[in-house]
Amino acid sequence: MAEMVVRRVGVFSLAKMQSLLMFVIGVIIGVIYGLLFMIFGAAMFAAMPRGDNQLAGGVSTIVIGVVMMIGIPIFYAILGFIGGLISGVVYNLAAGIVGGIKLDLEATAVQYAPPPPPQQWVPSPQPGQ
């Protein structure tokens, strides 16, 4: 086992990774909440008596649902990037004082087929010799 210490992290690398992870979480949350708003908007549209209030109440919640599906992932990605920047800077400062995180790493043997044994090259007989 090899013991290694993570003394510094790439701040922008951490920020990009955190942004991507938060974007994926934002897509999941945005789709769930967006669909809920759209379903309730459609139910409100169907349940209200006919008139201007029906159209305003039903369509506006459907539009809000679509906006949530687009806006929440973007908002989460931006917050994830900012959080990754802050986390990276704070970790680098703390690792400078404390010394970093120790990791015990173990190398695994790569399983592969060995190459075939070498073969002797024998020249082919020349015609006429």
Three-state DSSP at 47 gives helix
- 14, pLDDT greater than 60: yes
- pLDDT bucket at 53, cuts 50 / 70 / 90: low
- 64, pLDDT greater than 70: yes
Answer with the residue of higher pLDDT: 128 or 103.
103
Task: Report the predicted TM-score, pTM, of the whole model to 2 decimal places.
Answer: 0.70
pLDDT for the residue 44: 73
- 81, pLDDT greater than 90: yes
CB 27 within 8 A of CB 21: no
Report the amino acid identity of residue 56: A
In the chain, the number of structural domains is: 1
In-domain check, residue 54: yes
pLDDT for the residue 11: 94
pLDDT for the residue 128: 61
CB 20 within 8 A of CB 107: no
- For every residue of 71-83, which 3-state class applies, written as one string? HHHHHHHHHHHHH
**Residues contacting 22, CB < 8 A, separation 6+:** 76, 77, 79, 80, 81, 83
In-domain check, residue 4: no
In-domain check, residue 119: no
User: Could you tell me the residue range of the domain that residue 33 belongs to?
Assistant: 26-101
- 54, pLDDT greater than 70: no
